Amino acid sequence: MRIDRLIDDHRHEIRRPDRLNITPAQWENISRRLRAFLDAAGGAATPQPECYDEQLWTFLVACGYAVAEEAGLRSLCRQVTGDPGAPPTPLWLEALPVPPRHREGNTNLDLACGAIAARPIAGKAGGLGIRYDPAADHIAFCEMKWYSDISKSVTHDQTRNQLARVIENALTFQGAGCERPSRCTVTLVTPAAFKAEPKSRLYHYKFDEYSAAPQRLLDEFARSDATMPRRGTGGWRYPADIGARLGALRLRWITFEGLIGSLPQSPLDGAIRTFSDRHNGSARTSAAGDTLPAAADPIIPNRRPAAGEPPAPGSRS
């Protein structure tokens, strides 16, 4: 059976607050686009087109893990955080944390998990408002890219790139009482082909730069102050110790192929792998070994800096 029909058959097992949080409008929109893509693709005997829609790929991954219940959530949370002891938590698609700056709108997080609770958003139908849930101490925000690159500017700051924006949202993420998680991971998810050298995307350069010298983020945050002041109103406070918060950060880069190859057994895993085999054109251009499903993305525990050592957000795992 086609993957769109399987997902529809299991929608009530997937779309639950304890598994996958997604607005009804988003679910219907993405499901409609998936159905239209497969209708246009035709049967397996016809030449199969590439799927360029990163929202479809993210949706398939999220559904494939959510339908596998606690085991699936545990597996995905451990892969995106790099923590082999990460507990299973619900997933959030197109989640909207409080923006850390005035004059900047909500950042739409492609995928998020960890210690997250819902928050109301007045008049915003494009995503789910989220805040930190201090019942636990770890969050992960994922930036999912297929063939597109990160944006290199926002309306009020032509030098602010999308990866730095997501990182700042993670570092400043807080609860109703301004509590903040002690550990936060920002995970880049791309096709395996784009982790290879030579670099072809801005996010590759910025990921390497921030991993090697996380203090550069502080320079970029400071540069944004002139046009977008730091938020400090409405019961939300920008951390005064933003430099110290770098010690809580880990950067991670994993692949769609790794996530799909590691899908737990469920009613969807075989159909999602078939979709990937047929419609992942990037895999046909990857070097040998780039698309190994499980071993390509090792799980490494979060590492704290030693005394006197500059804080490091992690490594390209």
**Tens digits of per-residue pLDDT, 69-94?**
999 999 999 999 999 999 999 999 99
How is residue 129 written in tokens?
Answer: 């408002």
Instruction: Report the percent of the chain where pLDDT is more than 70.
Output: 88
**Banded model confidence at residue 215, pLDDT cuts 50, 70, 90:** very high
How is residue 135 written in tokens?
Answer: 């019942």
Per-residue model confidence (pLDDT) at position 44: 74
pTM of the model as a whole: 0.88
Closest CA to 110 of 146, 69, 65: 146
How is residue 132 written in tokens?
Answer: 């930190």
Give the CA distances from residue 42 to residues 2, 171, 172, 283, in Å, rounded to whole numbers and listed in that order.
Answer: 11, 45, 46, 21
Task: Specify the amino acid at residue 272.
Answer: I
183-190 vs 20-21, strand pairing mode: unpaired
Task: Specify the amino acid at residue 143.
Answer: E
Q: Are 150 and 161 in contact (CB under 8 A)?
A: yes
* Angle, alpha carbons 204-208-209 (nearest 5°): 115
- Rounded mean pLDDT of 127-136? 93
Report the mean per-residue pLDDT for the chain: 89
Q: Distance (Å, rounded) from C-alpha 89 to C-alpha 79? A: 13
Bigger pLDDT: 272 or 106? 272
Measured over the CA atoms of residue 232, residue 235, residue 236 and residue 241, the dihedral's sign is positive
Per-residue model confidence (pLDDT) at position 127: 80
- Rounded mean pLDDT of 229-242? 93
How is residue 116 written in tokens?
Answer: 């997250």
Per-residue model confidence (pLDDT) at position 317: 39
pLDDT of residue 221 exceeding 50: yes
CB atoms within 10 A of CB 299: 16
- Rounded mean pLDDT of 255-274? 98
Q: What backbone phi and psi angles, to 5 degrees, belong to 116?
A: -130, 140
Long-range contacts made by residues 34-39, C-beta under 8 angstroms, separation at least 24? 34/3, 34/4, 34/7, 34/59, 34/60, 35/4, 38/2, 38/3, 38/4
Which element (helix H / strand E) includes 164? helix 162-172
Per-residue model confidence (pLDDT) at position 126: 67
- Rounded mean pLDDT of 98-107? 93
Per-residue model confidence (pLDDT) at position 245: 97
- Rounded mean pLDDT of 178-207? 96
Q: How far from each other are the two terminal CA atoms of the chain, in whole angstroms?
A: 35
Q: Tokens 């071993």 map to which residue?
A: 295
Per-residue model confidence (pLDDT) at position 284: 67
pLDDT of residue 312 exceeding 70: no
Q: Distance (Å, rounded) from C-alpha 55 to C-alpha 17? A: 20
pLDDT of residue 289 exceeding 80: no
pLDDT of residue 156 exceeding 90: no
**Banded model confidence at residue 211, pLDDT cuts 50, 70, 90:** very high
Lowest-confidence range among 50-59, 80-89, 214-223, 225-234? 225-234
Per-residue model confidence (pLDDT) at position 43: 79
Per-residue model confidence (pLDDT) at position 304: 37
Lowest-confidence range among 36-50, 108-122, 200-214? 36-50
pLDDT of residue 311 exceeding 50: no
Instruction: Report the percent of the chain where pLDDT is more than 90.
Output: 80
